[in-house]
Amino acid sequence: MDSKFKKENYNKTAKSYYPKVPLFRNCLKAFFVGGFICLIGELLTRFYMQVFDMTQQEAGTPTVTTLILLSALLTGIGVYDRIAQFAGAGTAVPVTGFANSITSAALEFKSEGYVLGIGGNMFKLAGSVIVFGVTSAYIVGIIRYVFNQLIGG
């Protein structure tokens, strides 16, 4: 019982030294910055639809490509990291967050060379995202197929 008391006492004491996390403020910053990134995506879609006379579906590919390019450029010059420090999870909007993680890894390992450095280490951080994304898409596809067969005939 003595060790349990010491552990509880330690946890209580250590918790008193943790900084208070401004949860509501962090959520607001993430919401607005993530929303702003999505707004940029929507504006790009409208731009491609207006200027290049594309349908909304056709404008999706150049919009995503542009967001990836902007994210990679901002990561390369160090701006995206400052935005991420401010907004936290708000910058994890799937496309831009993924591009940031790939670009950051490439920059970190560039001194080790193109093949063993960048090529070998670039997807370490994003590898789990790719694996679980593909796996979950496969499972959802099977569920949708089965559901359509049962309901749609």
pLDDT per position as a tens digit, 116-126: 777 777 777 66
Q: Does residue 131 form part of some domain?
A: no
Confidence of residue 2 (pLDDT cuts 50, 70, 90): low
pTM of the model: 0.71
Q: Is residue 2 part of a domain?
A: no
Q: What is the pLDDT at residue 113? A: 79
- Is 128 a domain residue? no
Mean pLDDT, rounded, for 77-103:
90
Whether 136 is covered by a domain: the verdict is no
Residue 46: domain span = 20-122
Burial class (CB in 10 A: 0-12, 13-18, 19+), 69: exposed
Residue 139 lies in a domain: no
Whether 105 has a pLDDT exceeding 70, the answer reads yes
Q: Is residue 107 part of a domain?
A: yes
pLDDT at 4 exceeding the cut of 70 = no
Residues 140, 145, 149, 151: is their CA dihedral positive or negative? positive
Is 140 inside a domain boundary? no
pLDDT of residue 12: 82
Domain count, the chain: 1
Q: Could you tell me the two tokens for 23?
A: 């949860």
Q: How confident is the model at residue 60 (pLDDT cuts 50, 70, 90)?
A: very high
